[in-house]
A and B are shown apart, each in its own frame.
Chain A
């Protein structure tokens, strides 16, 4: 399409936004409200994810091998471990290294008797890509021959993982609600502009405008409303988050719980992309829905 045609269609779309100020504003407000609720769970989810990831980095699964395992068998176990889905990294800990690290934690005296006769088994330390895969990976590891036993994360971690899962589900449900409500709202707003401009549309049809040409300004209108709602929401989420971040971080509670919040600037890009994408997508779908019925005439 030619530039003047594109700029014409955009101008018309922008005009549409101002044609029904009341309905534009009310749909903006409703979209912002739903986006904010989504944003609330989104940032909580992001923080829990970050926390879980940190634990996942620190915590691994310790895989102990049977004492009689030969070097080649040990090597074989290492290879098989790496093949399991969800395993990010595998590190071999020989009997000697195991003893050494035990010495560090327990002290020389207790270890002393064992130095001559090291009964500690050789082991692997397995790091996961995603803590949620913990259970499945453990099951897979136990299938591998020459594995004696595994030692894994504590119940608290299991609970945090469950919490993270719950938040994810809630976020997804809210996201779906947000999308459905917003599409309906935008579709309704655009229906009003379509109605206000029906005379123009009928003239366009008589002059031979294609449906896609007629549709464009309304598509632009929907996307503009969606994107503006996205931008406003990013601003509000950013301001609120930064406020609570300042209030919470450094408090005794957070120190005791050993919690560290993500800084907003580290989430900004992601949130901006998610909101703009959502806004534009919802706007486009909303306008497509409201136009489809109209143009079929």
Chain B
């Protein structure tokens, strides 16, 4: 589903952020991406989203090599992935409902479809009662749930999350990770870059370790602390 083949990424500044990175995440898999700060996790995610271009190598998503994808086709690639960030990225002047519906407007969904789909994902993330509230009236965990609902609303085949729990306390972080796990159980592929060591250790999912831009370990049922 997400395959990297000998991918290198060198930024304009000269930083080699990724070196010869290869891995393959299967459909329906749950994979953590771990590594110290500056190791290249966000860079890897940006490459998946085609926010950045690889310097060399190939990236295959849903069986399609995206390396030479035309700019105009990128939006359609992104519709197959739901994205979640550390800072939630909600629109402050829109309600919870509107924030989620927004993602459907953008892909030109019918009003009927929007009216049916939005309450459904809101109940999935446990926010049915807060549809009319504004982001500023929600806790961090609740805001991240809204972001997750927005990522899910167009039924993407994968969820890509960059430190989704980075701004949350440990309990709330667990809630969000469990939610991601639940989403994964329904068949959605999930990739999570994170520093949440304990959660990674306990969840027993695949863990891809990156260090200074190199994959140093790829554990099918790993934890953070495995020996290299």
Contacts and interface: CB of A to CB of B under 8 A. Distances in A.
Answer yes or no: are A and B bound together in one complex: yes
Interface of A: 1-2, 4-5, 8, 199-200, 202-211, 213
B108 A5 contact: yes
A211 to B, nearest CB: 7
A203 B105 CA distance: 13
B106 A2 contact: no
Contacts of B77: 208
B108 A200 contact: no
Query: Which bucket holds chain B's interface residue count?
Result: 20 to 34
A2 B110 contact: yes
A2 B110 CA distance: 8
Interface in B58-112: 72, 75-79, 83, 89, 91, 102-103, 105-108, 110-111
B106 A208 contact: yes
A204 B106 contact: yes
Interface of A is mostly: helix
A209 B89 contact: no
Contacts of B154: 207-208
B83 A206 contact: yes
B89 A210 contact: no
A208 B79 contact: yes
Contact of B106 (A1, A4, A209): A209
A206 B49 contact: yes
Which of B49, B76, B106 gathers the greatest number of chain A CB atoms within 10 Å? B106
Nearest to A15: B93
Contacts of A2: 108, 110
B75 A203 contact: no
Interface in B25-65: 49
Given A207-B154, A208-B76, 10 more contacts: A2-B108, A4-B105, A199-B89, A200-B91, A207-B102, A208-B77, A208-B107, A209-B107, A211-B75, A213-B108
A207 B75 CA distance: 8
A202 B102 CA distance: 13
